[in-house]
A = this chain, B = another copy of it.
Amino acid sequence: MGEKSTQKKRYILETARKVFMEKGFKKVTMKDIVEACDISRGGLYLYFESTNQIFLEVLKLESEEADDVFSDSIKEDATAADILLLFLREQKKELLRRKDTLTQAIYEFYFDNSLPKKDNVLKKQFDSAVKIIEKLIETGVENGEFLCEDCKGTARNIMFVLEGLKISAQTIGITAEAVDREILFILRGLGVEE
C-alpha cells in the first residue's frame, strides 16, 4: 500500500470518526462508512475488514493526537492548580459536547470487546491520567497550593468522578452547572477556596 493509499486510509478513518461520533459504535455499518466516504462497497474492504478494526484505528489516531494536544496546552509558568483547572475545564468542555464526541462509541465498543489489558486503550488512558493527576497534586501540595493526605486516592477519585460525569452526560444528561458543582467540590476537597 503506497503513500496514496495511506492518505486515503487516513481520509477513511477521519470520515469514519465523524460517523462514530454521530451514531455510536454498534449502529454503524460498513455501508454507513462507505456512504460517508463516498467510495465503493468493495473499496472500503481494501483498507479495512470490519467496523471493529476501523474503530480501533480511529482510537489509535485519536490517542496519538491527544498526546500532542496535551503537551501543547501547558504554559511554562503554570501552577499545579492552574494545570488541574485547565484539565478539568477541558473535560467539562468534552462532557458537554455530548454527541460531538467519541465517548458513547467508545463505551459501546468496549461493552462488546473485552480486550486483553495491553490492548485496552481506555484503561491505559485512565491509568496514565491518574498518574498525571497524582503528580500534579503532589506538586501542588509541595507548593502549598493543595491540602491532601492521600494524593493517589484523590487522583483516582477525581478520575472516577469524571467517568461518572461522562457516562451521565451520555445517559441522563447533565448541565454545565452540575459539572461546575462537581469541579468545585473536587477543588474544595484539595483545600482550594475560591
Residues of chain A at the chain B interface (Cβ within 8 Å): 24, 26-27, 104, 106-108, 110-112, 114, 117, 120, 122-123, 126, 150, 153-154, 156-157, 159-168, 170-173, 181-182, 184-185, 188-189
Complex Cα distance, B122 from A189, in Å, reads 28
Residues in B whose Cβ lies below 8 Å from that of A182: 156-157, 160
Complex Cα distance, B189 from A101, in Å, reads 33
Asked whether A173 and B114 contact (CB < 8 A) given A26-B26, A164-B161, A164-B162, the answer is yes
Copies per assembly: 4
Residues in B whose Cβ lies below 8 Å from that of A171: 106-107, 110-111, 122
Partner of A24, one of B27, B112, B120, B188: B112
Complex Cα distance, B108 from A104, in Å, reads 9
Residues in B whose Cβ lies below 8 Å from that of A173: 114, 117, 120, 123
The answer to whether A157 and B185 touch across the interface, beta carbons within 8 angstroms, is yes
Closest to A125 in B: B172
Residues in B whose Cβ lies below 8 Å from that of A122: 171-172
The answer to whether B24 and A111 touch across the interface, beta carbons within 8 angstroms, is yes
Residues in B whose Cβ lies below 8 Å from that of A181: 153, 156
Complex Cα distance, B24 from A123, in Å, reads 21
The answer to whether B164 and A159 touch across the interface, beta carbons within 8 angstroms, is yes
A sample of 15 inter-chain contacts (CB < 8 A) reads A107-B170, A111-B171, A117-B173, A122-B172, A156-B182, A157-B161, A160-B161, A160-B164, A160-B165, A160-B168, A160-B182, A163-B163, A163-B168, A166-B167, A189-B189
The answer to whether B126 and A172 touch across the interface, beta carbons within 8 angstroms, is yes
